[in-house]
Amino acid sequence: MLTAIILAAGQGRRMGSLKQLLPWQGDKTILETVVGTVLACPQFDDEVRVVLGAGREQVLPRLRGIADPRLVLLENPQFERGMLSSIQRGVADLPSPSRGFALFLGDQPLLTPDLVAPLGDYWLKAGPDFLVPVHRGRRGHPVLVQKKYVPEILALEEEEGGLRNLLRRHEERVVYLPVASPAIFLDLDYPEDYRRHHPEGGKDK
């Protein structure tokens, strides 16, 4: 079984507002779009964990209405310490049947099930320790990791480079899988990113 972890605890300082709640398509926010994409992939047949932090009280109502028993909402009270703290919150106490996890960013609404599902299929069949999608030489997310590395992740320090450092330590165990879409690394950090990639040609925040 495979768990999904969606990181959605950031404050959106570079965006100037909570990215999680920015409208994306129809009545869906950016985060709802990402969650919907992951839930549409049956490969993530264990929990789909969403790690919340900044603006949790505003984000929660948008997710509580999603009727899927796999969805689990977690709070990272230490989100200000950085992304690693959210990763560690997400991987702690993985369900016992889970063989590993796929790490998603909550600001990648351009990901689609057609792009994500084959990554899950490959990992479940081939079972690499680490699977990283690559488009034209550039790495992206989701990153898929075997469960046996959770203790090592929990022991990481932010100043050590976080999860990137873990991949460097085990470079020989990382499989890089080419994909056809740049959506794996198109996250929305700045207002111009949001306007450029918005499916309706950009909206005011």
Query: What are 101-134's pLDDT values in tens digits?
Result: 999 999 999 999 999 999 999 999 999 999 999 9
pTM of the model: 0.94
Domain parsing of the chain, residue ranges: 2-197
Looking at residue 204, its pLDDT comes to: 45
Sign of CA pseudo-dihedral 176, 127, 107, 159: negative
Cα distances from 150 to residues 45, 84, 99, 156, 169, in angstroms, run 19, 12, 11, 10, 14
Sign of CA pseudo-dihedral 174, 175, 178, 184: negative
Fold of 2-197: Spore Coat Polysaccharide Biosynthesis Protein SpsA; Chain A (3.90.550)
Mean of all residue pLDDT scores within the chain: 92
DSSP at 141: S
pLDDT digits (tens, 9 = 90+) for 12-23: 788 878 899 999
**Distance between alpha carbon 115 and the CA centroid of its chain, in Å?**
14
Spell out a b/e string for 38-55, using b for 16 or more CB atoms within 10 Å of the CB, else e. Answer: bbebebbbbbbbbbbbbb
- Residue in the structure block whose two tokens are 């090592």: 152
H/E segment holding residue 8: strand 2-8
Residue 31: Cβ within 10 Å count: 24
Looking at residue 16, its pLDDT comes to: 73
Q: Is 20 helix (H, G, I), strand (E, B) or coil?
A: helix
Sign of CA pseudo-dihedral 179, 121, 5, 109: positive
Task: Give the C-alpha separation, 117 to 37, whole Å.
Answer: 9
